[in-house]
Structure 1
Amino acid sequence: MTTHNTYSQEQDSLVLIKTEYGNIKIKLYGDTPGHRDNFLKLVREGFYKDQIFHRVIKNFMIQGGDPKSLASADSTASDNNMADYTIPAEIVFPKHFNKRGALAAARTGNEVNPEKASSASQFYIVVGKSYSEKEINKIETERIERRTQSLYNDLQSENKAKIKEYYSSGDRDGLAAFRQGLYAQAVETAKTDSTLVFTPEQRLAYTKEGGAMHLDNEYTVFGEVIEGIDAVMKIQSVKTDKKDRPETDIKMDIVVISQ
């Protein structure tokens, strides 16, 4: 099954998630139109009526939209895409990231889903944790170092013949200089990768409100909570079983406010 974009322009839309813990007003981003339009379609069809938040992890996120989770408390369907279609990834990073209150699409793992296609119906809302500036600086440095090493390894593989020549000739100094040049090239390339460096907006959000930065650039973030974050915080604190399912079902209904 494929989805059809109802709106050609990049306009935001508003929906309201109704729960017993309060209402959560969500803005759906216009620059992720495939996810926006699919979500609005499901809402208009009444898909989310009496659906539940089947996976809740304190200081991480709340997840819902899996119809199989209604069948049994022992369901493990939270890891499965229950619809007969997926949504192509629309990862707009670093503009949209996993700050507290971010709405994102769940998906299956990279090993079976390297394209990072989204579940047709399952979504999560981020709670996450707050980070200090020191922690963010450390993470940023580690990101750049990992990327640099990966690039350097790739460059060495691409230049195997040249490296072999240096070994064969016994020119150790030449080999060292050549490798230094490759590493310098890797460093410069890594520095230009904007996905590795925290933007001012990310720094502010992750230090002041919190989030789940390890999910960044991996899942499609297609909206955010603009009112009702207190309801999200209440839901993330409920008692859950060892499979992270709330002991008492938390039902939802979702309505469109503007589209």
Structure 2
Amino acid sequence: MKQVWFILLMMAVLSHSGLAQTGNQYIKLETPQGWCIIKLYNETPVHRYNFIRLVKSGYFNKTTFNRIIKNFVIQGGDPDSLYEKPHVLKPEQKWMASELNANLFHKRGAVAMGRDDNPAQSSFTTQFYIVDGKKRTAAQLDTISKKSKVQFTGLQRQVYQETGGTPSLDQHYTVFGEIVKGIELVDKITALNVDKNGNPDAPVRMKLTLLKSKEATALLKQ
């Protein structure tokens, strides 16, 4: 029931705010290793609004990328202590109903929300990740498709074979954006030294900024 009320509240606020526009919203993500530009998808309005709300509040600027796994994902946005098993959330953390979309997939550079193993596949509100992934062969995609019960389109197969990603996560985690400039930042972060759990030797702090239209245009042209 709390999940339902949270989503209704999100949609109500979204419908009465400037975030209900059809134009794309862009976020600048800065780390000590460099920066990138993230485009948020209009097809996932609740996740988009939630992310923008946290960016504008400065929430992410106090967090780090605390889980870095090469050929998989870089994850951050909150420490694991915000979620304690069995399924106990601290006040800063909530769940959001998933917004799974077959056309939004885990290609390299995709941005998605983390979650636990809840059966509804609901997302955490603060924990996000960026896909690194790796290239897959046609046979590997067939195996993943059969195991995860997800059918890949021709375009998705082409992207996974030529560019890479983490197709095993498709339709199980909500993808709500993608890096549209500065994808090399993923390579720089995944090149850092980490322990066996993916924790980096030194904190990878982040700063996220909601860009105005002119700012986004100028950065994308660089």
TM-score, scaled relative to structure 1: 0.70
Q: Distance in 2 between matches of 1:136 and 1:231?
A: 26
What's the offset of the Cα at 1:50? 3.6
2:39 is equivalent to residue 31 of structure 1: no
Out of 139, 147, 152, the position equivalent to 1:198 is 152
Alignment correspondent of 1:223: 177
Alignment correspondent of 2:167: 213
Out of 70, 84, 97, the position equivalent to 1:88 is 97
Gaps of 5+ in 2: 1-5, 214-222
2:191 is equivalent to residue 237 of structure 1: yes
Structure 1's 114 and 21: CA in aligned 2 closer, same or farther, altered over 3 A? same
Out of 54, 57, 81, the position equivalent to 1:77 is 81
Gaps of 5+ in 1: 70-75, 148-195
- Could you say what the CA RMSD is over the residues aligned between the two structures, in angstroms? 2.0
2:76 is equivalent to residue 64 of structure 1: yes
The residue correspondences of 1:176-195 to structure 2 (distance < 5 A) are: none
One-letter code aligned to 2:121:
K
Alignment correspondent of 2:29: 17
Structure 1's 42 and 22: CA in aligned 2 closer, same or farther, altered over 3 A? same
Alignment correspondent of 2:107: 99
Which structure has more RCO (C-alpha within 8 Å, separation ≥ 6)?
A: 1
Residues matched between the structures, number: 196
Alignment correspondent of 1:136: 141
Classify the secondary structure of the residue corresponding to 1:43. Answer: helix
Q: Distance in 2 between matches of 1:49 and 1:98?
A: 25
One-letter code aligned to 1:28:
L
Structure 1's 202 and 78: CA in aligned 2 closer, same or farther, altered over 3 A? farther
Q: Distance in 2 between matches of 1:10 and 1:200?
A: 27
Q: Distance in 1 between matches of 2:188 and 2:93?
A: 32
Percent identity, aligned pairs only, is 36
